Amino acid sequence: MTPSIKHSPWPMPLILISLLLVGGVNAIADLKVTRLRCEYLENPLGIDAPHPRLSWILESSQRAQHQTAYQILVASRPEWLEEGRADLWDSGRVRSSQSIQVDYAGRPLVSRQQCHWTVRVWDNDGKPSPWSRPARWEMGLLKPADWQAQWIARTTDTNVSPAPLLRRTFDVNGKLARARAYVCGLGYYELYVNGRKADDALLNPGFTRYDRRALYVTHDLTPLLRDGANALGVILGNGWFNCHTRAVWNFHEAPWRQSPRLLLQLHLEYTDGRQAVLVSDGTWKCAAGPIVFDSIYGGETYDARLEQPGWAGPAFEDSSWQRVQVVPGPGGLLAAQMMPPIRLDRQFKPARITEPKPGVFIVDAGQNLAGMAELRVRGPAGARVQMRYGERLHPDGTLDTRDIEQHVKKLGAAQQHQTDTYILNGRGAERWRSRFTYHGFQYIEVTGFPGRPTLDNFSICFVHSDVPEAGRFECSDPLINRIQRAAQWAFLSNLQGIPTDCPHREKNGWTGDAHLAAEQANFNFLPVTVHAKWITDLGDEQKPGGQLPGIVPTSGWGYSWGNGPAWDSAFLLIPHYAYIYYGDTAMLRRHYDGMKRYVDYLTTRAKDGIVGIGLNDWAPWKTKTEAPITDTAYYYVDTRILAHAARLLGKPSDAAHYEALAASIKEAFNRRFFKPETAQYDNGSQTALSCALYQGLVEPAHKDRVLANLVASVEKANNQIDTGILGAKYLLNALLENGRADVAWRMIARKDQPGWGWWIEQGATTLWEQWSGAESRNHIMFGDVSAWFYKAIAGIVPDPSAPGFKHFFIKPHLLGDLTWARGEYHSIHGPIVSAWKVADGRLHLDLTVPPNTTATVLLPLAGPALENGRPVVQAKGVKLVGNEGGRVRLEVGSGHYRFSGSLGR
Ligand code: BGC
């Protein structure tokens, strides 16, 4: 995803202008502007935000560098940019250190507008940097009236199975400057141009509440089209749009359910200025394709004998094909898909293959994941290879799918689940993988294979939303590294256009799971584009009275069970995290009214300030914690987020109102649950105590005693975690934030039950749903432990008062027997590295602070701190502040540092 950060010589006129302005080569700043991004994306097509947000990253070999001003040029043609002719926007020199989330503020952008941009900045001393390498973005179709295309389908019957093929031929007459296809094919589509797939996306477009909003994708077809005859071909899958699997969440009865359909509009621009538009309409032709069955839950059946070679090419003879029908669309808005699509992350060879029964083979991927297998087979025409996917084996080595198919089978015993079938055409070496479904699995039961399969007959495909990697964490304890790895695999397995709970049983956008996993997601990857899209989905599902469902999107299920503040708070928490981690206020702004409706709704449900209407600390070990505690705490947190958003957005009277409400909730919470004599909250469970601490509900005067009770309660439980998914997040963070990371560490770094380490000891390669080991083995809802590794061990902690890591803390904890740890986090301002090791009683910390940011470093040293072997007071970029809570406190500017000092322990 990341382009190389080479610095290309930038066109002469601009360099000359820079030189003239500052009077000579030596006056160029040691700052390089790189990684230009628009709406978090690199050179995106199809942006429909009217004022796209621009960000860049600075590089410098000097310490303590920051930006004092910037200038952005945006031009509608690349050559104009080179000439310094910014017809769309010349921001002029803006005195500001802001290098992220800068709103485009030039001429109003129109549909399909091309925007080429470059940035330069001024450094500490007022010297300008060279201009950045140019980047670009392109607007999508901004108005409903831009769409001339019609929705088309092969049939309107939702029961007819084969995935339709649609095609249209057309001529290109001359040399093309630009060809863009805007495509929404529901449930899923694959676009082919002259027989070649137009991109490497899978399962596009992302799942939405289709009757309220459907996403279109912009394809650059310029390199795929040729002068003369061309053809477009599209295959449509059912996906979530036409879900025929009956299951307890009622997607088979979704209000949006229709047969697969396509909307496509191709804009051609010739080099000589001519333009042409080709649209989906009644002139397209269609036929049934070789995918004879496809279902998001059920799997796919492909009959290779029905293939029509060349069907998506211009020369194909389609006289036997029918004309398509023009049909109604799904009914809602069309919006640009401004997030990375699902892609194939990697393919790998399975670990082993066994034959627990004659002719029944079990392929073991060696890893739990989301995706499918690519089958490689030779055999007679008509041979049927069936692959059933699951994540457990019976003691006899056969596949055990009971846990993951329970909700589907409840409504139809005979329904197929996670099953792909390939019927051979017998024409030699055949290769196939399913297109319109994905599975959660470690094992594949293979039957009907012609002959004896070997490992070479299968390639395991890992498939998920292709969000960039942002972080890496490693330390000297292999168990911790395996937990970290399992969290990453579980998170990616559960990022499929929406954040999901599990990739097999449900594939549902459970709101609670998503917010509990959001901070680790932000450390490990860049999920914010998917989160932003999905928070819009939550907005689309909110009832006028403020209620939210437990799963999003939903067919209508989940408003009366499976929701409640602990889940619904995703609607406020994820935008809030986007603010903290990326300085992003767009989600807060966009959903402000909805958030307000939600908090007001909770107020209508509160009795004496207490809310108790939803799921409680889900999937607990032994001790339960009643919902009013966790619910009321979320009610408080939501109200505070809302009040904060009101301040940010310039709504002081709202802010005052919700601040007062928050104060009253805090009082009510303490009145009801706090026992001043003992400093216990309610039943004194780990969850109750840590909830009060973590959510900021404990009065300062009582903090020490509450903390002591929490530590005592952990010790009473033999230093074992005794919470569900909510408490797991509070507990680790409450201990960390209150100076007892050591207590959290004792729970994490052990291999017995319950705990993450026990899962790993049982062979887990992803995180599980239950401490007991029951049910799903690929859930991310206990995954916040990974964020804790970054915060507690590497010590990389965001500062909410300087969001987007403009300022942050480096406060590593040297826990247990750890001898080293390394955390690397590619913040929106650039890479932060915190790598420490302990040797000979000394701590060594290698630290990278990105230009234009600062950090507060807190080191647990007994003696003086050195930087590169010299007293820190002599080091450029470092200010020694003194001692704080047993740590040396340093304020540092950007740059690379090597701190060391003797340890106090
Ligand atoms: C899902 C969870 C979800 C929970 C809430 C489960 O079936 O898999 O992850 O949060 O239900 O009820």
Distance between CA atoms of residues 696 and 483, nearest Å: 28
The one-letter amino acid at 101: Q
Distance between CA atoms of residues 459 and 892, nearest Å: 49
Mutation probe of ligand 1 site: the residue of 407, 410, 498, 510 with most atoms within 8 A of C-beta: 510
Quick one: which atom of ligand 1 is closest to the CA of 511?
A: 10
Among residues 297, 249, 368, the alpha carbon closest in space to that of 768 is found at 368
Residues 663-702 as b/e (b if ≥16 CB within 10 A, e otherwise) read: ebbbebbbeebbeeeebbbbebbbbbbbbbbbbebbeeeb
> Does residue 502 line the site of ligand 1, with CB under 6 A?
yes
Give residue 762 CA to ligand 1 midpoint distance, Å.
22
Structure tokens at 208: 């939405």
**Average confidence score pLDDT of the chain:** 96
Residue 195 contacts by C-beta under 8 Å, 6 or more apart in sequence? 231, 233, 310, 312, 313
Distance between CA atoms of residues 389 and 462, nearest Å: 14
> Does residue 249 line the site of ligand 1, with CB under 6 A?
no
Give residue 521 CA to ligand 1 midpoint distance, Å.
19
Among residues 643, 507, 633, 521, the alpha carbon closest in space to that of 574 is found at 521
Distance between CA atoms of residues 704 and 509, nearest Å: 38
Task: Give the C-alpha distances (Å, rounded to integers) separating 492 from 42, 369, 511.
Answer: 21, 8, 16
Distance between CA atoms of residues 491 and 493, nearest Å: 5
Among residues 5, 3, 32, the alpha carbon closest in space to that of 120 is found at 32
Task: Give the C-alpha distances (Å, rounded to integers) separating 308 from 165, 535, 732, 836, 879.
Answer: 10, 41, 57, 60, 71
Among residues 812, 779, 808, the alpha carbon closest in space to that of 793 is found at 812
Q: With a cut of 50, list the residues of the chain below it in pLDDT.
A: 1-25
Question: What's the distance, Cα to Cα, between the start and end of the chain in Å?
Answer: 44
Among residues 696, 706, 699, 722, the alpha carbon closest in space to that of 635 is found at 696
For the stretch 680-704, pLDDT in tens is 999 999 999 999 999 999 999 999 9
Distance between CA atoms of residues 410 and 402, nearest Å: 11
Structure tokens at 496: 């499929």
Distance between CA atoms of residues 813 and 792, nearest Å: 6
Distance between CA atoms of residues 857 and 861, nearest Å: 12
pLDDT at site 905: 53
Distance between CA atoms of residues 421 and 384, nearest Å: 7
pTM above the 0.85 mark? yes
Quick one: which atom of ligand 1 is closest to the CA of 506?
A: 8
Residue 231 contacts by C-beta under 8 Å, 6 or more apart in sequence? 167, 168, 169, 170, 193, 194, 195, 312, 313, 314, 316
pLDDT at site 904: 65
Distance between CA atoms of residues 756 and 766, nearest Å: 10
- The Cβ of residue 255 has, within 10 Å, a number of other Cβ atoms equal to 11
Strands 866-867 vs 854-859: parallel, antiparallel or unpaired: unpaired
The one-letter amino acid at 728: A
Distance between CA atoms of residues 195 and 313, nearest Å: 5
Among residues 11, 441, 435, the alpha carbon closest in space to that of 234 is found at 435
Give residue 8 CA to ligand 1 midpoint distance, Å.
50
Where on the phi/psi map is residue 92: left (φ > 0), alpha (ψ -120 to 50), or beta?
Answer: left
Give residue 510 CA to ligand 1 midpoint distance, Å.
6
Give residue 501 CA to ligand 1 midpoint distance, Å.
7
Residues 514-545 as b/e (b if ≥16 CB within 10 A, e otherwise) read: bbbbbbbbbbbbbbbbbbbbbbbbbbbbbeee
Question: Angle at CA 502, nearest 5°, toward 727 and 793?
Answer: 45
> Does residue 513 line the site of ligand 1, with CB under 6 A?
yes
> Does residue 512 line the site of ligand 1, with CB under 6 A?
yes
Quick one: which atom of ligand 1 is closest to the CA of 619?
A: 4
Structure tokens at 869: 């072997």
- The Cβ of residue 314 has, within 10 Å, a number of other Cβ atoms equal to 17
Cis check for the bond before 13: say yes or no (omega within 30 of 0).
no
Strands 102-103 vs 89-90: parallel, antiparallel or unpaired: unpaired
Give residue 767 CA to ligand 1 midpoint distance, Å.
14
Quick one: which atom of ligand 1 is closest to the CA of 501?
A: 9
For the stretch 740-764, pLDDT in tens is 999 999 999 999 999 999 999 999 9
> Does residue 617 line the site of ligand 1, with CB under 6 A?
no
